[in-house]
Amino acid sequence: MSELREARREVGTCVELFAGGGGLAMAVHSAGFRPLLVNEFAKRACETLRSNPAEPANGDRPARPWPLIEGDVREIDFTKEVKEPVDVIAGGPPCQPFSLGGVHRGDEDERNMFPQMFRAIRELKPKAVICENVRGLLRPSFAPYFEYIKRELTLPFLTRDGATWEEHDEALAKAIANDDTDPSERYVVTHMPVNAADYGVPQIRHRVIIVAFRADLGIDWEKYRPKPEYSEEALIHSMRDGGPYWDRHTEVDDDVKKRVIENLPDLDLENEKVKEKLKLKPWRTLRDAIAGIDENEGKPLPPIPVEALKPKRQVGDIPDHFGWPGARMYPGHTPNLLDRPAKTVKAGVHGVPGGESVMRLDDPEYDGTGYRYMTVRETARVMTFPDRWVLEGPRGEKMRQLGNAVPVKLGAAFARAVAAALADAEKRQ
């Protein structure tokens, strides 16, 4: 059963920055944190948040909207807008300065919003911080600045005040070495490279999760940090010789199964690391997502017939499952394969780039190519958004929101772990 279906018990409060289309906000809320403020700049993403209340109406209880403040985060005075103590600040500061799709300018890029994250921390003094960002932060060219980000998060009250970031970093390093800062104004910071597929997301998505706890809470994050529950090795093993993977997909004909199995890499079953990976659950695949998993379980998306491509039309009753014409392959792009996790969903400049959202179908004669574009709803599913989540705007804007989002299942794994750590810390007080 999906964590989003489980009975929700309030465990604390949160502020969500750079909310986008709502993936991380939904995840943190599902872990039991009540939102006090949600901020987003992009018009279409704000429309999406307004269309999807934090809590739908239930009986006599009206729907509870997100406490959304639209516009530039730099214009928000958090001390005026938030009137309750904050347990968690969560967000993914815009990643274009560090991503492969950006211009790689890092700190010099005006889109770098980490300074605003640190300002919110100074003004609200949360117990914990959850930050998701691109793996580009770990590139060697950005390593010094990433270390600076972590040091600034460790001591957010030691402000830059017009210094260069290098000068500020040097002051931070000295202060951390002295270890004489008030623990209530210091954070213990950990970063974790993750692949979302290892946490049950049907998508290869390499990211960095940064988690910080206020030092006066005395939290040992290693006791709580979520461990991978899924593996590629378990997926491969589940496909061998008519394995259990195919029991979930009885509609797949034998020729397709044979082709998939023939292309599987070999596993060294005597290798100890492989043995440990086989104890985990199989990676989820694009085919799994289309069939329905977690909250969408038992709700397969209907096939898109060629006739639905031109003119473009909705297929079935689940929103945003539209055919889209023009799928093709070209050098530098490989298609999504049904029996693998989807490729990383990217925002791109005009929505998901063409080759990144093309999928290879079982029928090699489909539309004369054997390929078609993924629908918006299929893309939402590989981001583990529930079908009830309405995306606003034209197709390109919807795809952009998804490409910029945190997969709900990945965010929920870390939000639940943070909730458990804070609950135990409260018991010790």
Q: Hey, which residues are catalytic here?
A: 95
Q: Dump pLDDT digits (tens) for 332-341.
A: 778 999 999 9
pLDDT of 349: 47
Domains and their CATH numbers in the chain: 12-228+401-428 (3.40.50.150)
Give the 3-state DSSP-derived string for the chain, with helices as H, strands as E and coil as C: CCCCCCCCCCCEEEEEECCCCCHHHHHHHHCCEEEEEEEECCHHHHHHHHHCCCECCECCECCECCCEEECCHHHCCHHHHCCCCCCEEEECCCCCCCCCCCCCCHHHCCCCCHHHHHHHHHHHCCCEEEEEEEHHHHCHHHHHHHHHHHHHHHCCCCCCCCCCHHHHHHHHHHHHHHCCCCHHHCEEEEEEEEEHHHHCCCECCEEEEEEEEEHHHCCCHHHCCCCCCEEHHHHHHHHHHHCHHHHCCCCCCHHHHHHHHHCCCCCCCCCHHHHHHHCCEECCCHHHHHHCCHHHCCCCCCCCCHHHCCCCCECCCCCCCECCCCCCCCCCCCCEECCCCECCCCCCCCCCCCHHHEEECCCCCHHHCCEEECCHHHHHHHCCCCCCCCCCCCHHHHHHHHHHCCCHHHHHHHHHHHHHHHHHHHHHC
Q: Report if pTM > 0.75.
A: yes
Q: Using 70 as the pLDDT threshold, list the residues of the chain that sit under it.
A: 1-8, 95-111, 348-355
pLDDT attached to residue 351: 44
pLDDT at 8: 64
Read off the pLDDT of residues 71-98 as tens digits, 9 standing for 90 and up: 999 999 999 999 999 999 999 887 555 5
Q: Which pLDDT belongs to residue 210? A: 97
pLDDT at 394: 94
